[in-house]
Every structure is written in C-alpha cells, then in structure tokens.
Amino acid sequence: MSSRRLPVLLLAVVCCPAVAEDRPTQRDLVFSRDGTRLAIDTTKGVVLWDVQKQQKLRVLGDRFKSPAISAAFSPDGKWFAARRLWSLSNPPVERRWPPIVYGKWGPPTAFAADERTYLATTPQHVFRVDRDVPAGFVEIRDVAEGESFDVLAGDASGKKVAVAGMKDERPFLELWDLSGDEPRRTVVLKGHVGGITSLEFAKDGKRLLSGSWDETVRLWDVASGECVRVFRGHVYTVYFAQFGEDEKTVRSGSYSGEVREWDAASGKLLRSRTKQNSLAAVTRDGKRIAWSAGDGKVRIERLGDGKLLQEIDLTSLAEPVE
C-alpha cells in the first residue's frame, strides 16, 4: 500500500479464487519501513499484523467498502493512512481533517518522509496536512477538467511533492515545490505512456522512482526532470516500485505475480520471484516477502529461498475498530 497504493494504487482486477461473501478478501499489502508490521487491506477492514510476534495488532474499520487505494505507514511507524489517518496508539485514534468531500474511492494517501506531512487527494484537490498542527492544511493544486489524480509521494524534507494522474486519457507526472509561500510546479516528467501506479523519492530527494501500467519502472533525476534509467521486463502492469534499504537496488511487482529486484546503477536484473495471481509486498531489507492470492490467507516467506515463515489466516478476524 509506500506510496503505492491503483490509482496510487487503484488495484487492477486480479484473477483470484472465488471466496464466500463473509470471508475477508485481501486487496493490498504494505510493510512498515522497518518491516516489523504488515498492513493487509481486506473487504472487512485493514488488518495490522505484527511480523515479529506473529500476531494481529488490530483491525481498522472500512467505511468505504472499497480498496484503500494507497495505504501507507509513516516512516517512524507511529501513523498509518488508509482512507483515514490513524495514530497507532492503543487504542488507535483517527485524525480528523478540515471538511473534505471524498469520492467513491476515498483519497489516495502518502506520507512525506519527514514523518509529519501527510499527502492526499480528493476528486477536486491535492493537499498536504501537517498532522501536528490543527490548521495545518495546505492545498497544493486543483484538479482541472479532464484530470484525475492517482499517485502522490513526498520527499524527506516535506518540501517536494510528486503528483501523477491522467489528463484526457494521457498520464502526467509533476514535481511541486512547497518551500515558498505558495506551492510551485517545478518540472513535468515525461516518458511513461501508461497510467502511473507508484512513486517513491530516494532518501536524499534527488531521485524519484515510478511504476506504470506501461510495464516499466523509471528512475528520474529530480533537479532536471530527466529519466536516467528505464527498467524493462515486466509483462503486465507494475503496481509497486521501491528502493532497497541502501538504495543500491530497486524492487518492483507486477500483476503477473512477478516481483523483480534490479541493480539501481546498471538496471541489471538481479533476481525475480513469481506466484501467479498474487499480489506482493517486500521489506526494505529484502529479506521477506508477503504474498496474497485472494484465498483468505497471506503468506510471508524468505525472499531468497522462498521458505515459508508465517501464514496469516484472515477468516478469524475480530470486528474492526471504527
């Protein structure tokens, strides 16, 4: 869910086994930055799972009954966003924003890496919320006619924002500077020919990763807007793209069920894993991968040799916290 996500992660239809209506069907997965927690978006709420203790932490309510679009943990792991913004205290506390009109899907969500700034969109606006300031609500830009916003990402300073979407059925990707009195668009990144599904800044804010329906992952120079590398080889939509912990590797997953790891400098494919009809999430250190095949279970394996480490049965969930 980094800023992943389908428009930011508007999940495409994945062929999964038929399940009973009362069984929670999983729709997206995202690890916290340190890999100790896993969020599983299901039809009955978002399950937060403690990977170390191998136990459920809680189930967050789902008032939209639709995919979370872009679920995300804050870098410090203390906050979580999926349609709503939650403080992961015990019990979890929902953060209320100024009045916002939500669309059918709810707002795509992303955290800037300064751990305070929360980014989201509605059908009409892209905005930033400072979660520590009651009135910390900044509109970045309106949605023009024929446009839709799909993906957001913020850099470590909280002053740079990447925004992607569609305009007149063509993808667009923009960078915005929030350091001045008014938000300012600095550059338009051109290269993708399909809708963009995933965005992530490098830690220093100088590079940006993007994944797309055009089956590619692109690495961008933020200052110039130049595409410095294209990672090719996926045979279906790329739904997540992320840097490894040391940022020397890039990982990506497609709806074909394949997860790839690339050398960031050369673009060389280092390894790949495939489970057909499955969605996946990978920890930043590259040691674990979580698979979801829509059968009511999530399996966490070692990425290297595929050894099963945990199997999460979602059929016995408690009622969600509303």
7 in a structural domain:
no
pTM: 0.84
Number of Cβ within a 10 Å radius of residue 153? 28
66 in a structural domain:
yes
2 in a structural domain:
no
* 8 Å CB contact between 291 and 274: no
Instruction: Name the strand (E) or helix (H) holding 29.
Output: strand 26-31
Segments in the chain forming alpha helices (H):
none
202 in a structural domain:
yes
85 in a structural domain:
yes
260 in a structural domain:
yes
C-alpha–C-alpha distance, residues 201 and 178, integer Å? 15
Give ∠ CA 26-28-32 in degrees, rounded to 5: 120
* 8 Å CB contact between 187 and 170: no
197 is in which domain, residue-wise?
26-316
Q: Specify the number of domains making up the chain.
A: 1
Closest of 23, 34, 32 to residue 2, by C-alpha: 32
CATH number for 122: 2.130.10.10
10 in a structural domain:
no
Q: If you search the block for the tokens 């797309």, which residue do you land on?
A: 212
C-alpha–C-alpha distance, residues 123 and 150, integer Å? 10
Which pLDDT tens digits describe the chain residue by residue (322 residues)? Answer: 344 433 333 223 333 333 334 445 556 789 999 999 999 888 777 889 999 999 988 887 654 455 545 678 888 888 888 767 778 877 767 765 544 444 444 566 777 766 777 777 766 677 777 767 655 667 787 777 777 777 888 888 888 999 998 888 899 999 999 888 888 999 999 999 999 999 999 999 999 999 999 999 999 999 999 999 999 999 999 999 999 999 999 999 999 999 999 999 999 999 999 998 888 999 999 999 999 987 888 999 999 999 999 999 887 765 555 5
C-alpha–C-alpha distance, residues 147 and 134, integer Å? 30
20 in a structural domain:
no
